[in-house]
């Protein structure tokens, strides 16, 4: 994580065992001794490219607030990673539970176009949160999220 939240005591990770695989899930311990999943999981993001004329780096997607959401104009979100790395999983938070599973996840390498995560597996965290596991063996430069669910997207976290 590139910036440190002043009320965070430490960053750590917890192992999530699912689908016969283990994944390290970052979390934080805050000064009030509450634990939460670590936000800012998008490592060294340079820019977001968003369809629908929203421009780049919209506040609702970069504010670490799951209650601020897409204004329903964006149809596709592409994140360009400043430091390319293999993709492990993506966490999506939506405002409308009906759209929780209405996403397609893709990625791009420096030599290919967008490839869909055909072998992706998902795990519902709660009514509005979905983790999509899409481990790649190649270095990923861009992550793309599309589908009907993007219209109610509130947060997007990417982990390598």
- CA–CA separation, 156 and 61 (whole Å): 7
Confidence of residue 20 (pLDDT cuts 50, 70, 90): very low
pLDDT tens, residue by residue, 22-38: 344 444 444 444 444 44
Confidence of residue 49 (pLDDT cuts 50, 70, 90): low
Q: What is the DSSP letter of 39?
A: S
Proportion of the chain above pLDDT 90, given as a percent: 24
Q: Does domain 40-159 match CATH 2.60.120.260?
A: yes
What 3-state class would DSSP assign to 63?
coil
pLDDT tens, residue by residue, 82-120: 788 899 999 999 999 998 989 999 999 989 888 998 788
Long-range CB pairs of 21-29, under 8 A, 24+ apart, other chains included: 21/133, 21/135, 23/88, 23/89, 23/133, 23/159, 26/1, 26/159
What 3-state class would DSSP assign to 60?
helix
Greatest mean pLDDT among 2-11, 42-51, 66-75 lies in 66-75
120 in Cβ contact with 133 (< 8 Å): yes
Q: Is the dihedral of CA 40, 42, 46, 47 positive or negative?
A: negative
């Amino acid at each position: 994580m590139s910036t440190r939240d002043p009320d965070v005591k430490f960053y750590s990770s917890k192992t999530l065992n699912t689908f016969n695989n283990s994944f390290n899930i970052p979390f934080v311990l805050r000064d009030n001794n509450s634990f939460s999943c670590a936000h800012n999981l998008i490592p060294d993001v340079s820019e977001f490219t968003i369809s629908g004329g929203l421009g780049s780096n919209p506040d609702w997607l970069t504010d670490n607030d799951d209650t601020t959401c897409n204004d329903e104009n964006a149809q596709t979100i592409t994140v360009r990673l400043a430091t390319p790395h293999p993709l492990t999983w993506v966490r999506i938070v939506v405002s409308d539970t009906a759209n929780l599973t209405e996403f397609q996840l893709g990625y791009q390498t420096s030599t290919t176009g967008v490839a869909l995560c055909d072998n992706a597996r998902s795990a519902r965290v709660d009514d509005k949160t979905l983790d999509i596991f899409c481990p790649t063996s190649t270095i990923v430069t861009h992550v793309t999220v599309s589908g009907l669910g993007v219209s109610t997207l509130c947060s997007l976290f990417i982990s390598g």
